[in-house]
Amino acid sequence: MTIGIVCAMQAELDVLRDALALREIGSGSPWDLYASRGESAIALISGVGKVSAAAGLSYLLSHYKVTKLVGIGVAGGIAEDLRIGDIVICRGAVQHDLDLTAFGYELGMVPGLRIKEFKADRALVAKAVTAAEEISLPVQIRQGLALTGDKFVAHGEGARLRQLYRGDCVDMETAAWAHVAHLFGVPWVAIRSISDQADGEAPANFKEFLGHAVGNMSQLVLRLLASM
């Protein structure tokens, strides 16, 4: 069994890379790839945005026999009760910027597949919930819906998306990873830690609290990986 780990930025993998003693592999690939001893875990840094996320994960799933996938990283919190440092176990993901309503589709629905929300694997979500109960962090950890789009959400846009989709956090990759995992038939779950609140302070907060959010998220992911 090989567990795939995917994130958008190097900073989101740093803690796990050290904790799991991941070594760099895949020289010549357009992406940074890392593997544990025996390749029981392979991590890929996909890059930011939906195209980079989909292309990177497609490469990973095409070249390695990944049986389960964990997406990791930070996100903006749009649920009213989420604070910086809190963690969302993503039970599903929607592309908030996909709009084919002119052709009769719901906002966010993927034509052809006719899927709006790509749902995470229930067993992996349950394992993540159990892992959350087994660690001690002074933050809120709960399930939620990730909204993905090719835009860093700030300046009140988060409130509008919350109203439209009832999402909990916003990012630029989760729904793309979920879409690709669905096409490849690989069960997935994503863990997102809140680095900002998708408001007028979001750009400054993202830079200031990135490390704090990654540290919290990494503790949960390490416990989750130990149970898989």
Predicted pLDDT at 34: 96
87 class by beta-carbon count within 10 Å (0-12 exposed, 13-18 middle, 19+ buried): buried
User: If you average pLDDT over every residue of the chain, what do you get?
Assistant: 91
User: How far apart, in whole angstroms, are the C-alpha atoms of residue 9 and residue 47?
Assistant: 6
CA dihedral 49, 73, 80, 92 (to 10 degrees): 70
Of the candidate ranges 30-39, 57-66, 89-98, 190-199, the one whose mean pLDDT is the lowest: 190-199
Query: 205, 195 in Cβ contact below 8 A?
Result: yes
How many structural domains compose the chain? 1
pLDDT band at 4 (very low <50, low <70, confident <90, very high): very high
DSSP for 113-173 reads TTBSSEEPPHHHHHHHHHHHHHS--SS-EEEEEEEE-SS---TTHHHHHHHHH--SEEESS
Is-catalytic flag, 173? no
Q: How many CA atoms lie within 13 A of 46 on its CB side?
A: 29
How sure is the predictor about 206, in pLDDT bands with cuts at 50, 70 and 90?
Answer: low
> Is residue 108 pLDDT above 50, yes or no?
yes
Q: Which residue do the tokens 């020289």 mark?
A: 27
- Cα(first)–Cα(last) distance of the chain, in Å? 9
Band (pLDDT 50/70/90 cuts) for residue 200 is very low
Lowest mean pLDDT among 81-85, 166-170, 177-181, 200-204: 200-204
pLDDT in tens, 110-138: 999 999 999 999 999 999 999 999 998 88
**Catalytic-labelled residue, pool 86, 117, 173, 196:** 196
pLDDT of residue 55: 98
31: nearest Cα among 17, 52, 45, 16: 45
What's the domain range around 104? 2-227
User: Domain holding 171: CATH number?
Assistant: 3.40.50.1580
Instruction: For residue 35, give the nearest of 13, 9, 11 by alpha carbon.
Output: 13
* E strand segments, the chain: 2-7, 23-25, 32-35, 41-45, 66-77, 87-95, 118-119, 141-148, 169-171, 188-196
- Select from 26, 53, 69 the least CA-distant residue to 221: 69
Choice among 12, 157, 168, 171 that is catalytic: 12
All residues at 6 or more sequence positions from 164 whose CB lies less than 8 Å from its CB, including other chains:
96, 107
How far apart are the C-alpha atoms of 146 and 174, rounded to whole Å?
7
168 noted as active-site residue: no
Q: What is the pTM of this model?
A: 0.92
